Structure 1
Amino acid sequence: MDTSLGERRRNRLWPEGLKREIVAASLEPGSSASLVARRYDVNANQVFAWRKRYAAEVAEPTELRLMPVAVTPDPPAEPAPARADDLIEIEFGGYRLRIGSGVKAATLRLVLDVLERR
Structure 2
Amino acid sequence: MDGMARDGGLASRVSAGGGRRQWSAAQKAAIVAESYATGVRVSEVAARHGVNESLVFTWRRQARTLQTMEASEKANEELRSPPASFVPVLLCDDAAADQRQQRVAGSIEIAVADVSIRVTAGVDAATLAMVLAAVRGVG
Q: If the TM-score is normalised by the length of the shorter chain, which range does it land in? A: 0.3 to 0.5
Greater strand content: 2
Return the TM-score normalized by structure 1: 0.40
Bigger Rg, which one: 1
Q: Which has the higher contact order (CA 8 A, sep 6+)?
A: 1
Structure (1 or 2) with the greater helix fraction: 2
